[in-house]
Homo-oligomer: A and B are copies of this chain.
Amino acid sequence: MNQLVTYIQSVAPRLNPEALEAIGLAFRPIHKEKGELLLAQGDVCKDLYFLAEGICRFYSIKDGTEVTNWFSFKNDFITSFSSFFTKSPSYESIEMLTNGSLYQISYQKLAELQESAIEIERLINYFSNLYTVQLENRILFLQTMTAAEKYQMILKEEPHLIQHIPNKHLASYLGITRETLSRIRSNIN
């Protein structure tokens, strides 16, 4: 049994076996190398992925500088939500920070899967609502905290970021420069 199915089962133990099997069949396993893009800024995001293993980063380039919008880890679903949902060009790229094993599904196939069973549709909406909650948290985080507070928050709430993400990307995710992050880190220790 593949890891996507195992994960879904752990999240939705009461999902009926047929739906679970349909999900397992609809996604296609793929491999990506470190540095490869899942999506390039400006393209329409036509796929959804499940990240079985690896780390990836969402980022936008504005005036030549990168802004990191998001990180995804093992057992996350990956897509550029706005682009995928509205079929418009993506404001962000998605790249692999490590080699990764993923499961891929097209917009079209996902739509079919969704319509095939109400439970699947509900599951998808559940994940998408979770994402929305995280976005709201992130807005408050970006808007109300100083550089040092942001770092300490991450240290406390998402230490896996600090362990696995290069500081330059972490800095741009926090909305500060790498120099500022470096100074904060040296003040704390």
Contact = CB atoms under 8 A, between A and B. Distances in A.
B135 A139 contact: yes
How many copies of the shown chain assemble into the complex? 2
Contacts of A135: 132, 135-136, 139
Interface stretch (A9-17, A22-30, A45-53, A123-131): A123-131
A67 interface: yes
B142 A143 contact: yes
Interface string A61-100: 0100001010000000000011001100001000000000
Chain A contact residues: over half helix, strand or loop, or mixed?
helix
A162 interface: no
A149 to B, nearest CB: 10
Given A91-B140, A121-B122, A138-B139, 18 more contacts: A60-B144, A62-B144, A67-B143, A69-B139, A81-B136, A82-B132, A82-B133, A82-B137, A85-B129, A85-B132, A91-B136, A121-B121, A125-B125, A128-B128, A131-B132, A135-B139, A139-B139, A139-B142
